[in-house]
Amino acid sequence: MAKQDYYQALGVEKNASPEEIKRAYRRMAIKYHPDKNPGNKEAEAKFKECAEAYEGLRDPEKRKQYDQYGHEGLRGTGMHDFSRMNVEDIFSMFGFEDFFGSVFGGGGGRRGGGGRRGGPARGYDLETGVELTLDEVAHGTEKTIEFTRQDRCSTCGGSGAAPGTQPTRCPLCGGSGQVAKGGGFFQMVSTCPQCQGTGQIVKTPCPTCRGSGRVPKKRTVTIKVPPGVHEGQGIRVAGEGEPGRDGGPSGDLYVYVRIRPHEFLERDGNDLIAVVPISLTQAALGATIDVPSLDGTRQLKIPPGTQYGSLFRIRGQGLPDVRTGRTGDELVQVTVETPTNLNSRQEELLREFAQTENKNVSPKSKNFFERLKRHFGS
């Protein structure tokens, strides 16, 4: 089977910056991590595919070879065969715990607890989106976000066991959450298939959460959006992700920005672009016209002889830079509209003007072509 393009695997453009590639890998790895998709072989394959893509693109030299020669260009560069690696090895390879801020909990990201591997585990991070107008981007705003997360079950306290009972140690892994296969130098360690890495078995499930220890709960938070944010930028809300296991800290909530299209303005970095139509006479003789801006309409002076597509700059009327606060400009591009539905006087004046230019224009009479046809007998 042909390998997927690395940029497509991570969902980024070919001109993506190293930081964008890093963030994309982070999101993909969280989405497809086997701990969030237990028993899903397709998700595990996607997880490994994203890891391979990240290895190939995070190194500048490997990325250069890949951009020039594709997958063949990475032969002999020390690329790992991720299809043969287990998740724990990939976790260690990329420094997963540091890279993701322990997004999957301590001890290599497994949600352990008590005497099991890694102890208390940090909860999963969550993602959601917020839509902003250009005006909100320009001035900053506060937004109320509603989302649903898996919270601890109040009936069982998160243990998953029915009230009056307790989970028991997993007989297969002895409570470690892991099982080993093979021996000697080739011993392979993997997540225990019986307890899914928790180290415990619930014999009498809680009737409220059905043994999961979690129930869906709606949450509402208010976030502050700084001026100048860009499409796709994430805002971190600490501690609003899923609660951790066995007393571990909660994960975080990442709110990603979507910007609603404006009726008249388009964004280009920190600049705004407006396309404004003007008449033929305004372009030829000059005029003062109204142009849209974030603060309403503004007046712009058009000089005589303005050509189609001419660009005018209104300084300081763009968007603030999210880091420096420096404001961009508004760029106004004019388009010249050809007049239609002329009355007889307007047509007469234009024909007189065309004669002064010695320009060949269409004949006035609509019967001209018919008389032309009769003359040549066609």
The arithmetic mean of pLDDT across residues 44-70, rounded, is 88
**Rounded to 5 degrees, what angle do the CA atoms 265, 268, 269 make?**
130
Condensed to tens digits (0 to 9), the pLDDT of residues 221-239 reads 999 999 999 988 889 999 9
The arithmetic mean of pLDDT across residues 289-303, rounded, is 94
Residue 321 shares a structural domain with residue 191:
no
Residue 188 shares a structural domain with residue 305:
no
What is the total count of domains within the chain?
5
What local confidence, expressed as pLDDT, does residue 87 receive?
A: 67
Q: What is the CATH number of the domain that holds 65?
A: 1.10.287.110
- 177 and 112 in contact (C-beta within 8 Å)? yes
Helix (H, G, I), strand (E, B) or coil at 360: coil
Residue 173 shares a structural domain with residue 213:
no
pTM: 0.60
Condensed to tens digits (0 to 9), the pLDDT of residues 236-271 reads 999 999 898 777 889 899 999 999 999 999 999 999
Q: Is residue 146 a part of any domain in this protein? A: yes
Residue 285 shares a structural domain with residue 312:
yes
Q: 25: closest CA among 124, 99, 121, 123?
A: 99
Helix (H, G, I), strand (E, B) or coil at 309: coil
Domain interval for residue 272: 265-340
Residues in the chain: 378
Residue 306 shares a structural domain with residue 214:
no
Residue 159 shares a structural domain with residue 172:
no
Residue 239 shares a structural domain with residue 287:
no
Q: 191: closest CA among 206, 167, 170, 160?
A: 170
Question: Which is more confidently placed, 315 or 99?
Answer: 315
Residue 371 shares a structural domain with residue 319:
no
- Dihedral class, residue 257 (left if φ above 0, else alpha if ψ from -120 to 50, else beta): beta
Helix (H, G, I), strand (E, B) or coil at 164: coil
Kindly calculate the radius of gyration of the chain based on its CA atoms and give it in whole angstroms. 32
The arithmetic mean of pLDDT across residues 192-216, rounded, is 87
Q: Is residue 362 a part of any domain in this protein? A: yes
Q: Is residue 40 a part of any domain in this protein? A: yes
Domain final residue pick, 57, 79, 94: 94
Q: Is residue 173 a part of any domain in this protein? A: yes
Residue 229 shares a structural domain with residue 136:
yes
Question: Which is more confidently placed, 193 or 218?
Answer: 218
Least confident of 108-112, 199-203, 219-223, 332-336: 108-112
Q: What is the CATH number of the domain that holds 307?
A: 2.60.260.20
The arithmetic mean of pLDDT across residues 285-294, rounded, is 95
Q: Is residue 178 a part of any domain in this protein? A: yes
- 121 and 261 in contact (C-beta within 8 Å)? no
Secondary element (H or E) of residue 47: helix 41-58
- 332 and 274 in contact (C-beta within 8 Å)? yes
Residue 319 shares a structural domain with residue 287:
yes
Condensed to tens digits (0 to 9), the pLDDT of residues 61-116 reads 889 888 887 887 787 777 777 777 766 667 656 654 444 433 443 333 333 333 34
Q: Is residue 108 a part of any domain in this protein? A: no
Q: Is residue 104 a part of any domain in this protein? A: no
- The HSE-up count of residue 277 (CA atoms within 13 Å, CB side) is 4
Residue 129 shares a structural domain with residue 215:
yes
Given the DSSP bridges, would you call strands 126-132 and 253-259 parallel, antiparallel or unpaired?
A: parallel
Residue 174 shares a structural domain with residue 219:
no
